[in-house]
Structure formats: structure tokens, C-alpha cells
Structure 1
Amino acid sequence: ARGEWRECELAGALAEALWGQGIRPLLLLVAGEERLFRHRHPLPKDRPLGRAFMAVACAYRGGLVANLTRMVALDHPEVEARYRRVLEVERVALEASRPGATLGGVLAAIQRAYGEVGFPGAWEEHHQGGVGGFRSREVLATPGHPLALEAGMALAWNPSLAGAKVEDTFLLTEEGLLNLTEDASWPTVAVGGRGRPDLLRHLHG
């Protein structure tokens, strides 16, 4: 991406990159600086990216769907602060995602985590994710949902605040979570002993 791009240009570049790998984009979302704090599910518009922006991809290959979100912040302290809080909520979700746990149980942990980072009602502002695989989400986490997590399930949590979101797709195994959408070239930050995507703070070109 380049800072002077429009949201629709980034979405187009993402679509080209995905198709070039034989991956079919099902949903591409982009929000630039001026819309980032207003929309959790931002369809790309002809608006500038600016100093902070987010891209979301849900894409299909070989019968399965993966989901990820990545963010850029070029000297934007408010996005930085929100993103740190979102990573903390996600840490709780990932730690609670174990074989035998229920979707409702993980969501309860997520609800508590939002309260601990100072946004107790934020879990209701956008879905928090759940079990994926054959669709972007096959089952969304809702309060009290009884579905028990099992090894072999794909999980994609979706914690967000206005201005920040984090998302990857994980395979649940007996030994823990395997990140299926990890990108070795993207900057990472350690959260709870796990490497998570950091904000990208420098653009090339």
C-alpha cells in the first residue's frame, strides 16, 4: 500500500494478489483514517487511506475459508492505544480456546476482557468470531452457546474497538492453536507468549 492510495485501490491490489495465488476473495474490507473509527465492517470507498487504515480479507481455496485483518498506523497514537487493548482481548480469547471449552465459555471470557481494558459493552458492537472452515464463520459465538470446541476445528476470533481490530485463522489441535494465516514478513509483537501481528508503521515506496 501507499499512503496516498484510496481505499478501493488497496482492495483492488488485495484482490489481484489473492487471485494470483489461486485464492478467491469472498470479502475484502478497507477503511482509511477518516472512516476507521466509524465502521467495523467497512466496504471500500473512494476515500484516502491516510495515516491509519485497516484491511480485512476472507478468502477461499481448496474448499476452505481463511480470515485475517491487518492494520497500518503511521504515527497515530489513538490507533496504537486501541490496538493494544484489542490484542489483550484477543489474548484472552486464544487462551480460552481449548478442546472441551464451549463457544459460550470463550465469549464469556471475551466479555470480561473488554471490561478489563475499559470497554465493557464493546463485545456487542460487532460479532466476536467463532468457528470457521467451510465458511468465513460456520458458527458465531453467542452468549451461552453450547458448542464444544474440538481438535480439528478452525477458529477465527474478531475482537475490535472503534479504530482497531485483530484477526487470524487458527487450527485447534490437542497441543494448542496453529496460526494458519501467519505472515513471516509482517511485524509481530509478543502477547501472552504468542507472536501476534503488530501495527505496520512504515510503508515502502
Structure 2
Amino acid sequence: GAAIDRVHARMGEWLRPGRTEAEVGADITAAIVAEGHTAAEFVIVGSGPNGASPHHDVSDRVIQAGDVVVVDIGGPIPEGYNSDCTRTYSVGEPADAEVREAYAVLQEAQRRAVETVRPGATAAAIDAAARDTLADAGLAELFIHRTGHGIGLDVHEEPYLMGGNDLPLEPGMAFSVEPGVYRSGRWGARIEDIVVVTADGVEPLNTRPHELTVLPA
């Protein structure tokens, strides 16, 4: 978690207008390996309308001033365990006036979901904490995937944080908490931390700020 946080901390070196998503992704890949990972298992750089696709990769789209950019990155360390962390950036002030308000709700949804994690809480309850916050703001239809997935020796494993999963959480479980909002054809945003259930609550393994990070345009 600390290693992938250090890569996110350097995003201002690479993410700027005139560069393609693929060029930024290549720099991120090199940094992930330099931080001690054996590989970059996935590098998502979703700029502008590409950010509205949760499972975007990278493309030859040229990043523009005003773009909101979703950066979701991770991979294995030599011991076999995986990192996975998403932060959302804006290249200059967001061009879309809706972004700031919606992002504030997303940040609150992610915070509430993490705070709900504790032994005995169900996987579905964590999903509901995020989903209900977005729904209260009229953004429910923009959250189009589950709230999280287990992570360890596999990037995606149980437990899955989604409606209908009444599995009680137990100390030692590790999983992502990653609500998002996705405005098709325009922009997207996601905030993802890996957290671990403790004996009496939760410990986040990613500690980078959750605010929308505005980079120079």
C-alpha cells in the first residue's frame, strides 16, 4: 500500500496536457516496478470521457486541460501480495461544472463505507453505506459497479462488497472500498483504498489524500 501511494504522489510529474494516456501509463508502470513491485498488473489512465468506463485501460487519447482523470494502479510485490489504489485527478480546474459537487458526495460515500467496516458487519452493509450516500444526492444511477473486492495473492478474490452478500466481515480480511461516479461520455471519478478488518474496526492501507487533486494545466 505504501509503495503504490508513493507512485500516486508523483502523478504531477507525468499527467499533463498534450501527453497521451498511454505515455502516462508507461511512466506509471516504470515507477511501480521501481517501487519494488515485480510488475504493474494493471494501469488505468481514464481521461475525460474515458474515465466514465470503470475498466478502461490506456489509449492514445491526448489529455487536455480541464480533463478529470481516473488513475487506478497496482500489482504484486515479491512476496506475492497485490496493491490496488485509485485516485482521481483534474488537469487544471475541471471543465465540467458538475464535477466538484458530485466528487464531494463521492468522497463522503467512500468515507462512510470505510467507517462502516468492522467485525460482524456484512459485506452488503459496506456497499449500502456508499450506495445510499450517492442515492441521497441523486447519483445512484452513476454508481455502476460493486463497492469492493477482496485482495491478497489475487487482485480480485472474496469477499465481494455488493448488495445481497450477507457474509459477516472477520478480522484479517483485506478488500478494496472503491465507490465511483460515471457520467457516460463526459467524465468519471473513483476513490479506492485497500483496508483490513481489525479486531475492533478497520485499518486503511492507503493514506494518500482523497480530495480531487488538481494538477497544473
1:81-100 alignment to 2 at 5 Å?
81-100=101-120
The unaligned stretches of length 5 or more in structure 2 are 1-13, 183-187
Q: Which amino acid aligns with 2:81?
A: L
Measured after TM superposition, the shift of residue 6 of structure 1 is 0.6
Kindly provide the amino acid, as one letter, of the partner of residue 166 in structure 1: I
Residue 201 of structure 1: SS of its match in structure 2?
strand
Partner Cα distance (2:120, 2:18) in 1? 47
> AA paired with 1:157?
V
Relative to 1, partners in 2 of residues 1:181 and 1:108: Cα closer, same or farther, differing over 3 Å? Answer: closer
Q: Using the alignment, how far apart are the partners of 2:31 and 2:101 within structure 1?
A: 30
2:7 is the alignment partner of 1:5 = no
Residue-by-residue CA offset, 1:62-89 (whole Å, 9 max, x unaligned): 2211211122112114332222121111
Q: Is residue 100–residue 149 contact of structure 1 (8 Å, CA) maintained in 2?
A: yes
1:100, CA displacement in angstroms?
0.9
TM-score of the pair, normalised by structure 2: 0.80
SS at match of 2:84: strand
1:151 offset after TM fit, Å?
Answer: 1.5
Aligned partner of residue 45 in structure 1, secondary structure: coil
Distance 2:63 2:168 in 1: 40
Is 1:53 aligned to residue 69 of structure 2?
A: yes
Cα shift at 1:54: 1.6
Give distance in 1, aligned partners of 2:140 and 2:48.
25
Distance 2:161 2:196 in 1: 16
Count the aligned residue pairs.
Answer: 190
Map residues 108-187 of structure 1 onto 2, 5 A cutoff: 108-123=128-143, 125-139=144-158, 140-162=160-182, 163-183=188-208
Could you list the runs of 5+ residues in structure 1 that have no partner in the other structure?
189-196
1-side partners of 2:156 and 2:136: how far apart? 26
Corresponding residue to 1:32 among 47, 57, 60: 47
> What TM-score, normalized to structure 1?
0.84
Over 3 Å counting, the alpha-carbon distance change for 1:27 and 1:110 in structure 2 is same
RMSD of the TM alignment (CA)?
1.9
The answer to whether the Cα contact below 8 Å between 2:109 and 2:130 also exists between their aligned partners in 1 is: yes
Identity of aligned residues (%): 25
Following TM superposition, by how much is the alpha carbon of 1:127 offset from its aligned partner in structure 2, in angstroms? 2.5
3-state DSSP class of the match of 1:182? coil
Pairwise CA distance, 1:175: 4.3
Q: 1:121 to 1:34 in 2, by over 3 A?
A: closer
**C-alpha separation in 1, matches of 2:125 and 2:215:** 38
What is the deviation of 1:147? 1.8
3-state secondary structure, aligned to 2:17: coil
| Farther-moved stretch of structure 1 (12-21 vs 173-182) | 173-182
Contact 1:25/1:60 (8 A) holds in 2: yes
Higher strand share: 1
Secondary structure of the 1:169 match is strand
